[in-house]
Amino acid sequence: AGIIGLENSCVDENTKSIVIESAVFNRSMIRLARKKLAINTEASYRFERGSGWNLAEYAAFKTCHMVLTYCGGEIIKFSDEKDVEYYNKLVSFQQNAINVDLEYISSILGFEIETQKFIELFTQLDYQLKQVESTTTNRKFFLLPPISRQDIKFQADVVEEIARFVGYEKVPSKLPHNINSFYKQNISDKLQKEIIEYLISVGVNQAINYSLCSDEENKVVLNNEQKSISILNPVSNEYSQLRLSLFNSLLKNLVTNYEHQIENISLFELGKVFYKQDNGIKEELQLGVITHGEHQYLSWNHQTIQYDFYHLCGIVETLFDRFSVKYIKDTNVNDKDFSKPVLDEQLFKKIVYYISVKDNKILSFVSEVDKEKLKIKLPNNIFYAEVYFELLLYEIKKEKVFKSIPKYPFVVRDLCLKIPQEMSYSELEKIILQFVYSKNFVCEISTIDFYKKDVEKFLTFRLKLQDLTKTLTDKEVNNFINDLLKELNTYNVYLREK
């Protein structure tokens, strides 16, 4: 119905009784049905664009009149049954007049609309007008479109209608008056700009990718079935889901560059990922960095230097230092935040996490990609880092506060520690820093020596301790060192005996 009639209900020379029904069909249903049937008729063309609720009754009477006049028929029975929806639509449309302000329309178009010209134009177009107020500054009308123009619903539609009839070429081209050249960026915009400028300054190139990917690419994320968001009408299977991570996008960029003979690659992307949460869909900004090949090329005065794990660690740590973010490093994090997408650790040969001192959340990680598991045939090692932008934004200070040069000196202590064979440097550093921060000391920690013999392993740390409010005495420092050693003993870490 509303598209094409059936053969078993058509009118031919043997037809003697006809039921006449006047109906207005739903535009959306007609359009969907026409596309499914792959046909286009005059009826579907009219109903798709809206034939008008107020014409249904008139059309029924007009048809009856034509049958009586030209066909010699007779009306046996007439039913004045009207659908409730018909009345509701008709009344609501008549009550839905548009409030039009000519001063507002003139400001949008950029030229003055004369009142008389406006009335003449819309009267010719069969609109009903009622002037509400007319002064030198206020020219307001109630405008009721003809029933066939169901696309005219808002004042913006009236603006478009005027521009169409006056001519778009007559609309003047000029900049709006409200452009603020001193636009104040918010803290997020500033941070994004500073991150991009920093990464470019250290030789990393920016990549911009689609936010769509295939379901196969999202499988690098744990629990991807619960987190992934599918597109209702995807262009192809390659772009059927919103991405959960920047990892695959940058990995594809790397492979594409290598296939075009660009072997030494360092790329970053500051882009959005999308995933499901209990309370809806989350849109989150992340930073991804990937490297492969040589960082420094062969020259007459130096040898080549390959990108490695520690080079990428340095980029991330320098980024955190620029914004005064306090962090500790760890190679194993058991209590990961699974409310957001987490990459599968099995895809990496080694990985180190950067954890916030403030709230113990993972800010970033740096890893070496396992090429065999991902079936990537590239000659050099691939390193990947990811920074959670929103957590970094939370960590940084909203305003930079000037601090004078410390008045009180720092104290240096060297500790040679015997550590368990299975303990890593990052684990030990984490324990020491957490203890130092709990005492409200400013501390710099560095490793100055390493020794290993059989099953024994020794690390020598240099600690620079400082109190911003007073000069530390030897007694206070010694008490602090003794308390630190007691804390380390609980982890089977002991001071080396002479």
**CATH code where residue 136 lies:** 3.30.56.10
Who contacts 103 (Cβ-Cβ below 8 Å, separation ≥6)?
137, 138, 139
464 belongs to a structural domain: yes
Is residue 348 predicted with pLDDT exceeding 60?
yes
Residues 346 and 239 in one domain: yes
Could you report the per-residue pLDDT of 188-238, keeping only the tens digit for each? 888 899 999 999 999 999 999 999 999 888 888 888 888 889 988 888 888
Residues 274 and 152 in one domain: no
Q: Report percent pLDDT > 90 for the chain.
A: 21
Considering the entire predicted model, what is its pTM? Answer: 0.60
Residues 101 and 234 in one domain: no
Could you report the per-residue pLDDT of 143-180, keeping only the tens digit for each? 888 877 777 888 889 999 998 888 888 888 776 665 55
Instruction: Write the DSSP symbol of residue 203.
Output: T
What is the spatial distance between Cα 270 and Cα 319, in angstroms, rounded to a whole number? Answer: 14
Who contacts 32 (Cβ-Cβ below 8 Å, separation ≥6)?
none
Residues 22 and 142 in one domain: no
Is residue 50 predicted with pLDDT exceeding 70?
no
Residues 61 and 101 in one domain: no
Domain boundary among 143, 170, 197: 170
How many CB atoms are located within 10 Å of the residue 340 CB?
20
Angle (CA) 237 242 243, round 5°: 100
Torsion over CA: 37, 41, 47, 49 (sign): positive
Torsion over CA: 73, 79, 81, 82 (sign): positive
- What's residue 397's pLDDT? 62
Domain boundary among 370, 395, 420: 395
**Domain with 351 in it: what CATH number?**
3.30.930.10
234 belongs to a structural domain: yes
212 belongs to a structural domain: yes
Q: Output phi, psi for 270, to 5 deg.
A: -110, 95
How many CB atoms are located within 10 Å of the residue 12 CB?
6
Ranges 5-9, 11-15, 331-335, 396-400: which has the least confidence: 396-400
Q: Output phi, psi for 391, to 5 deg.
A: -70, -40
In the chain, how many domains are there? 4
Who contacts 371 (Cβ-Cβ below 8 Å, separation ≥6)?
377, 378, 381, 382
Q: Mean pLDDT, to the nearest integer, of 485-494?
A: 91
Residues 201 and 293 in one domain: yes
The secondary structure element, H or E, covering residue 484 is helix 474-489
406 belongs to a structural domain: no
| Start-to-end Cα distance in the chain | 98
Residues 268 and 352 in one domain: yes
Residue 85 vs residue 58, higher pLDDT: 58
What is the spatial distance between Cα 206 and Cα 239, in angstroms, rounded to a whole number? Answer: 22
Please report which confidence band the pLDDT of residue 249 belongs to, taking 50, 70 and 90 as the band edges.
Answer: very high
Who contacts 325 (Cβ-Cβ below 8 Å, separation ≥6)?
356, 363, 392, 395, 396
SS3 call for 212: strand
Instruction: Write the DSSP symbol of residue 303.
Output: -
Q: Mean pLDDT, to the nearest integer, of 455-473?
A: 86
Helix (DSSP H) and strand (DSSP E) numbers for the chain:
15, 19
Residue with tokens 């329309």: 105
401 belongs to a structural domain: no
Who contacts 274 (Cβ-Cβ below 8 Å, separation ≥6)?
211, 229, 242, 243, 244, 281, 282, 283, 284
Residue 25 vs residue 88, higher pLDDT: 25
Domain boundary among 144, 170, 196: 170
Angle (CA) 151 156 157, round 5°: 25
317 belongs to a structural domain: yes
Who contacts 7 (Cβ-Cβ below 8 Å, separation ≥6)?
none
> What is the chain's Cα-based Rg?
37
Is residue 246 predicted with pLDDT exceeding 90?
yes
2 belongs to a structural domain: no
Residues 382 and 272 in one domain: yes
Could you report the per-residue pLDDT of 426-444, keeping only the tens digit for each? 788 888 888 887 877 777 7
Q: What is the mean pLDDT of the chain?
A: 83
Q: With beta carbons less than 8 A apart as the criterion, state whether 385 and 418 touch.
A: no
Residues 133 and 16 in one domain: no
Give burial (CB, 10 Å; 0-12/13-18/19+) of 268: buried
* Strand duo 327-330 + 305-306: pairing: unpaired
SS3 call for 272: strand
Q: With beta carbons less than 8 A apart as the criterion, state whether 157 and 100 touch.
A: no
Q: With beta carbons less than 8 A apart as the criterion, state whether 275 and 227 touch.
A: yes
Q: Which two tokens stand for residue 140?
A: 């307001």
**Letter for the amino acid at 383?**
F
- What's residue 95's pLDDT? 60
DSSP-derived secondary structure for 34-62 = HHHHT---HHHHHHHH---TTHHHHHHHH
Residues 248 and 326 in one domain: yes
What is the spatial distance between Cα 264 and Cα 261, in angstroms, rounded to a whole number? Answer: 9
- Range list of β-strands (E), 313-381: 327-330, 348-356, 362-369
* Strand duo 280-292 + 294-296: pairing: unpaired
Q: Give the residues across from 241 on adjacent strands.
A: 213, 230
* Strand duo 205-206 + 265-277: pairing: parallel
Residue range of the domain that includes 14 = 7-94
Is residue 472 predicted with pLDDT exceeding 80?
yes
How many CB atoms are located within 10 Å of the residue 114 CB?
12
Residues 252 and 323 in one domain: yes
Residues 125 and 139 in one domain: yes
Q: Output phi, psi for 440, to 5 deg.
A: 60, 35
294 belongs to a structural domain: yes
What is the spatial distance between Cα 315 and Cα 366, in angstroms, rounded to a whole number? Answer: 10
What is the spatial distance between Cα 420 and Cα 218, in angstroms, rounded to a whole number? Answer: 39
**Letter for the amino acid at 52?**
G
What is the spatial distance between Cα 272 and Cα 210, in angstroms, rounded to a whole number? Answer: 10
